[in-house]
Amino acid sequence: MATSFGALSTDFYLNHKLALKMDLPTERETILHFFDQIRKVEPSMDRFRRYDEELALESSQRHDEYRWLSLRRTSIRTGHVNPQTMPQGYDFHRMVLKVAPYYLSISPLDVDYLELTFGFDLECKANHDGVVFNALYGDTPMAELLQVPDGRILDVQPVLGVSLTERGDIQAYFEIKTRKKNRRGDARRYKHEPISLFLTVRRYGSVQNIDALASIFDDLGEHAETLATERFVPNLLTPIARQITSSSA
């Protein structure tokens, strides 16, 4: 069965990023040995791709559930789309965090930050920005800003951040991404793209021991699940989902 968060959206995904201060190794043998080790644990990840400034190992996207891993100059990124359970969603990221330091020579001092993102895609055929605006700002003073004669709402993609600790080393961000548009605000070319909602929890700072990465990741997961349940879903996702439904009626 899908996760409870997955039941709230068309697609639900868990993304993780380990940001580093120094460049990752680029030697062919090192990278291939690392990817081969990941493939041994996750045999479905058998697609090796080279993008602009990025090397990636992926499973087939023809299935609803898939995983991906990418290496950029100073970061390791992983994603699990539509995991069956939250523990399964976490396991893949945790496995990469355990393996990567030893294959890619990552030092505790090298760690810049870790972040975990919960992503929710909502299918929407109506004007994305209009839906977001009406859901979040329709009955507030902000609504007066965009009520201009013959006007059409073009861009409503708020990003809000909050510190979760007094030190500011753990932060949370709430973000909305609407459909792409051309210079005149026409979105017909991208009509099949969803509204995407993101909850990101980030922890800054180096670590004392490289094995502590897994426990830091677990802590980020606890923060993210609490924020998703108590804040993100009732105050962001649900109002937008309801507005999508009413716009389609």
Please give the model's pTM, rounded to 2 decimal places.
Answer: 0.92
Is the pLDDT reported for residue 184 higher than 70? no
Question: What is the rounded CA–CA span in Å between residue 91 and residue 217?
Answer: 11
Question: What is the rounded CA–CA span in Å between residue 93 and residue 91?
Answer: 6
Name the 3-class secondary structure at 153. coil
More confident residue, 83 or 248: 83
Write out pLDDT tens, residues 6-21: 899 999 999 999 999 9
Residue type, 95: M
Task: Give the torsion through C-alpha atoms of 31, 109, 115, 79, to 10 deg.
Answer: 10
Quickly count: other Cβ atoms within 10 Å of residue 186's Cβ.
Answer: 10
Question: What is the rounded CA–CA span in Å between residue 84 and residue 4?
Answer: 9
| CB contact at 8 A, 18 and 100 | yes
Question: What is the rounded CA–CA span in Å between residue 46 and residue 196?
Answer: 27
Write out pLDDT tens, residues 69-99: 999 999 999 999 999 999 999 999 999 999 9
pLDDT classification of 2: cutoffs 50, 70, 90:
low
Average pLDDT of the residues of the chain: 91
* Cβ-Cβ contacts under 8 Å for 59 (sequence gap 6 or more): 42, 44, 45, 46, 47, 66, 67, 68
Write out pLDDT tens, residues 117-149: 999 999 998 889 999 999 999 888 888 888 888
Quickly count: other Cβ atoms within 10 Å of residue 6's Cβ.
Answer: 22
